[in-house]
Structure 1
C-alpha cells in the first residue's frame, strides 16, 4: 500500500475563500500534502484539476440549499466532473445524482455547534447535517478543523486565547459525530470517516485585534486524511483520481491531527491465519485474531470495539491485541492528551 496525505475540503475566491486555486496548491505543497481538494460552495470550476508540480489538485463542490432556513446539510461532492448544485434542494436527489456520476459524497461537518454570541456578532450559524434518513452517501467528514474552532469559542475571551494559541483548540471529533458514525456501522452502513480543513484563509477581527488565524498552509498541516492506495499514481489526473476514489470508498483511511507530529507511516491491520485486513476491510476469522497498530512516534493507543468501547490500551509506538471475538474495531492514538490519529475500522467476522 502507498500512503497519500490529503486534505479534501477548501475554498477559493470562487465562493468564500481568499485565494485562487494556485494559492491553495502552493500552500498544500509547502505543508507537504500529496493531494488537495477545492470544494467551493455551489460552484464547480472546470479546467483547473491536475498536477501542479508534485501536488494533485482535485476539484469538487460543497453543495447546500441556500434557500433552506435554518441552513444545514452541506455535502462534499468529489469526482462528479460537472456542476450538481441544481440538486441542492433535495439531499437525497443530490446524493443519487452524484452517485450516477461516479462521485463520492461526504456529509460535511455533520455535527456542528456555534455559540450564540458568535452567531450574533459574526453571523456564523451552525451548519450540521439534519436529514439523517438519507442513504447512499460515502461517509462523514467526522473531524472538521473550522467546525471545532467555532465550537470552542464559548466566549470572546476564548476567541482571543485561541487567536494566539490556535493548536490548542484541536481535541478531536464531537462525541455525537462519533456515536452517529459507529451507529451507522452497527446498522450495516459502512460510512467512511474523513477529516478536513474547511480552509478559507480568512483573517478574523476581535475588537482592535486583526489576525490571519488560519492561512491555508497552517490548516493543511493540521487535520488531514491519510489514504492507502493499492498502486502507484501515474501523474495522470483522471486515472489517479480513480485510484484515490477506490481507496476512499473502501475506507483505507485514517484521520490525523498532524500538528502533533506527522502520522506518515502509521499502520493498522488485523490477521488471522494467512488472512489480513486493513482499515475499511473485513477479516474472516481462521482462528485467533491478531490486531496490531504501529505509529511513527510514541503515543497512547486505544483499541475501540464499536458498541463496546475501549477494549485495550497501550503506550509507546504500537499496540498488539489477541482476540477471538468478532466485532468492528478501530484505533485512536493520543499525544499529550490530545487525539492524534483516528482510524476507520476493520470488521472481524
Structure 2
C-alpha cells in the first residue's frame, strides 16, 4: 500500500525575510491541510522548533532546513535548499561545491533553489538564478518555485498591482529552461530529484492607499506543493516521521502538484515488468518490456516523456497505459484548464527503466 503526504519545502519566517513565526506558519499549513512544512530561512538554521502542531483533528509536522547562499557575492546567485543537516552550514556558502559536499558529508540533502529566477526591476528584485552548473552531488532541483514565476510576471508597476490582486493567474508551470536542464541531467545518468515549493514570504506591500499581503502563507500552501509517497504510514512520532519523509524524498518517491485548480492527491505513476513493480524514483528492468501506468485524480491531458522527449500523449483522460522496451528516465507531465488557460498541474519524478 502507498501512503501520500503533501507538504511545502520552501518557506521563510521572520528570522530572515518572511513575515510570520514558526507557529503562525504551522497554523497556516494546518488550515491549508498540509501534512508537513519545512522552514528554510536564509543563512540561519533555527533549532528547537521541529515537531507536530495540531488543530482539531488535524496535525502538521513542522521541520527546519535552510536556504544557503553567499551574501557577499555580487550579483547574488546560487541559492541552495538544505535539509537534515541539523547544524549551521552557511559559512560554506562561498563555494557551492564545498557546501554541497559538506551537506552530503553530514547526511543531509541539498536542492538547487529556483534554478531560473528572473529579475523584476519594477519592484527592485534581482535575478537570483543558479549560476555554477559545474557542481555535482546535489540531491535535486526545485523545478517549480511559485515566487520565481510570480516575479517573472511583474514587468511593470501596473502589472505588479494586477498580479498582487490576481495571484491565481500567475502559475503556468515550471520554466521550460529548468525542465530542459533537469532532463539533460537525467539523460546523462544523474539521479536528480524534482521538488516544488512556494518560497513563501507573505510580504506586506503598501502603494499609496493600496495595501496587500503578497502571496499569503495559507494561500500559497494550497498551490505548488511536493507530494511524498511512502510504503508505510507516518506514526505521529516526529523524529520517526521526519526520517521517513526525507528518506523517500531523497529517493525521488514524490511528485510536484499544483493543487489550486484541483487536488493532485491520488496521482500515481507506476511500472510493472519481469515480475517486479516500481514507483517514481525507482528502477525496473526492461528485459521483457515494462508497462507504465498513469492514474489521475480527475481528467486532464497527460504527456509521457523519455529522457525529456515526448513519446505519448493522452487528452482528457483519467488513466494511461504504455509499454516500453527502451532504457531511460521516464516521467509524466499533466496539464489542465484553469482560469481560461492550459496550465501545468502535475510533474512526476522519473521511473528509471534499465536493460
The TM-score, its normalising length taken from structure 2, stands at 0.94
Aligned residue in 2 for 1:110: 115
Q: Within 5 Å, which residues of 2 pair with 1:272-311?
A: 272-311=273-312
> How much does 1:315 deviate?
2.1
2:73 aligned to 48, 68, 72, which one? 68
> How much does 1:165 deviate?
1.7
SS in 2 for 1:8: strand
Q: Within 5 Å, which residues of 2 pair with 1:23-172?
A: 23-53=24-54, 54-115=59-120, 117-118=121-122, 122-172=123-173
Q: Within 5 Å, which residues of 2 pair with 1:315-334?
A: 315-334=316-335
Contact 1:74 1:129 in 2 (8 A): yes
> How much does 1:319 deviate?
1.3
Per-residue Cα deviation, 1:229-287 (whole angstroms, up to 9, x for no partner): 22122222222211111101110110011001111111111111321111111110242
Q: Distance in 1 between matches of 2:244 and 2:114?
A: 25
Q: Comparing both structures, which one devotes a greater share of its residues to strand?
A: 2
2:344 aligned to 310, 315, 339, which one? 339
Q: Distance in 2 between matches of 1:157 and 1:330?
A: 38
Aligned residue in 1 for 2:4: 3
Per-residue Cα deviation, 1:40-67 (whole angstroms, up to 9, x for no partner): 1111111111111211001011111100
Q: Distance in 1 between matches of 2:291 and 2:207?
A: 52
SS in 1 for 2:4: strand
Aligned residue in 2 for 1:189: 190
> How much does 1:310 deviate?
4.1
Q: Distance in 2 between matches of 1:114 and 1:310?
A: 34
> How much does 1:93 deviate?
1.2
Which runs of 5 or more structure 2 residues have no equivalent in the other structure?
none
Per-residue Cα deviation, 1:92-145 (whole angstroms, up to 9, x for no partner): 111111111111100110111124x32xxx321111110111111100011000
SS in 2 for 1:224: strand
Q: Within 5 Å, which residues of 2 pair with 1:203-222?
A: 203-222=204-223
SS in 1 for 2:312: strand
Q: Distance in 1 between matches of 2:205 and 2:293?
A: 43
Per-residue Cα deviation, 1:205-228 (whole angstroms, up to 9, x for no partner): 445422113110000000000000
2:245 paired with 1:244: yes
> How much does 1:156 deviate?
2.4
Contact 1:304 1:312 in 2 (8 A): no
Contact 2:303 2:310 in 1 (8 A): no
SS in 1 for 2:260: helix
Aligned residue in 1 for 2:231: 230
Contact 1:270 1:289 in 2 (8 A): yes
Q: Distance in 2 between matches of 1:17 and 1:213?
A: 11
> How much does 1:88 deviate?
1.1
Contact 1:62 1:75 in 2 (8 A): yes
- Computed over aligned residues only, the root mean square deviation of the Cα atoms, in angstroms, reads 1.3
Q: Which runs of 4+ in 1 moved over 3 A?
A: 205-208
Q: Distance in 2 between matches of 1:206 and 1:339?
A: 32
Aligned length: 345
Of the structure 1 ranges 266-275 and 187-196, higher mean CA displacement relative to structure 2 is found in: 266-275
Per-residue Cα deviation, 1:154-201 (whole angstroms, up to 9, x for no partner): 222322221222111100111110111011111111110000010011
